[in-house]
Amino acid sequence: MADKKTLTFLLMDAPFENARTTTALRLIDIAARRGYDINVFAYEGAVYLPLAAQAKHANAVHGTDAAEEDHPLPREWVEAVMQEAARNGGKLDWVNCGLCVDERGATESVAGVRRGSPADFWKMASTSDNVLVIPTR
């Protein structure tokens, strides 16, 4: 692909807490559909985004059981955009900040997520066509 790009995103928000997570994954999805190579450095609470233990639950207010509720799980979104990138000839390299993982006990992630450090983020950033830092508040 002649116009294949590499984009890097730094995410900081924990899941289920801010619209930034949805927007960030929407951006990553768009890039994945284009077959871009995508780097994600998950810093701080964002290391919970691909947490394998996320589970669907019933919702008494909605009157739904777990299957009917089909609650969104960011780990599924992460897996889906990884698969979307691959289907389109791209690659999503998701790196969880290792120290952030350790202090949060977020050690079990979905397949394809690897552990790294700020040096990995710098390497990603300096070899990308562009970088977007999406900080938490």
Per CB under 8 A, residues contacting another protein are: 3, 5, 7, 10, 12, 19-20, 23, 26-27, 30-31, 34, 36, 43-44, 117-119, 121-123, 125-126, 129-137
Nearest approach, Cβ of 31 to another protein (angstroms)? 5
User: Among residues 65 and 129, whose Cβ is nearest to another protein?
Assistant: 129
User: Among residues 107 and 136, whose Cβ is nearest to another protein?
Assistant: 136
Q: How many angstroms separate the CA atoms of 115 and 41, rounded?
A: 10
Q: How many angstroms separate the CA atoms of 36 and 47, rounded?
A: 22
Nearest approach, Cβ of 1 to another protein (angstroms)? 12
User: Among residues 10 and 101, whose Cβ is nearest to another protein?
Assistant: 10
Q: Which residue has the tokens 């739904």?
A: 64
User: Among residues 95 and 110, whose Cβ is nearest to another protein?
Assistant: 95
Q: How many angstroms separate the CA atoms of 29 and 33, rounded?
A: 6
Nearest approach, Cβ of 66 to another protein (angstroms)? 25
User: Among residues 114 and 135, whose Cβ is nearest to another protein?
Assistant: 135
Nearest approach, Cβ of 87 to another protein (angstroms)? 17
Nearest approach, Cβ of 39 to another protein (angstroms)? 13
